Amino acid sequence: MSSKSFSDQLIEIESSGLSLKEAYEAKVHELMYPKSKRLDKFGNGISLLMGLFFLILFGAIAIVAPKELRWVGRVGFILGAVFGAIILVLSIFSMKKERIDKLNDELGSAGLAWGFIILMSMFFLVTADQFPDPSRLLISMVIFEIGAAVALLKAYQHRSETRTKKKLLEIEYQIAKLAESIQK
């Protein structure tokens, strides 16, 4: 961030030919849709590799697993492969975008992970009688659900911060507009 206040920046921009409203809209657009940084692209690359790894690993296990593997285990591996494919597609889509959508991208990814964990948990709870020790299964599910819930809450927190910053920009725009009308 710059050491100048937003209203000073708006007045500077206005003297260069942009109106206050255009400057405000440019600032909001930059806040809501910042350009992807190298670290963002690196994270998307890691997600892409992870999705490809899950797709290949779980898909291969589902296909070549011995016949002694119960249908529940095979379906679990198939669902893991589907999740890997979804992560792979989303990572490719995110890498192609030039800008990040601060309100929806992180929340969508966290929501996908949360939804997948919940669906897998429900599937394994419904089929718990197929497992020799369902209590171990329950403990594992709770651990994964806690991690997914933390990611989802963090995404909501970032979304709230972005909305708060947008509202503060709107207030500063209104103050600059009032200051300009007083000066005239």
- Please state whether the predicted TM-score (pTM) of the whole model is above 0.85: no
Q: Count other C-beta atoms under 10 Å from residue 184's C-beta.
A: 4
One pLDDT digit (tens) per residue for the chain, 184 residues: 456 666 666 556 555 556 777 777 888 888 888 888 888 788 888 989 999 999 999 999 999 988 888 888 888 889 989 999 998 988 888 888 877 887 788 888 888 888 888 888 888 888 878 777 878 878 888 888 898 899 899 989 988 998 898 888 888 888 887 887 787 6
Cα separation, 27 vs 167, in Å, equals 12
pLDDT digits (tens, 9 = 90+) for 65-86: 888 888 888 888 899 899 999 9
At residue 127, φ and ψ (nearest 5 deg) are -100, 20
pLDDT digits (tens, 9 = 90+) for 112-132: 888 888 888 888 888 878 777
- pLDDT of amino acid 12: 61
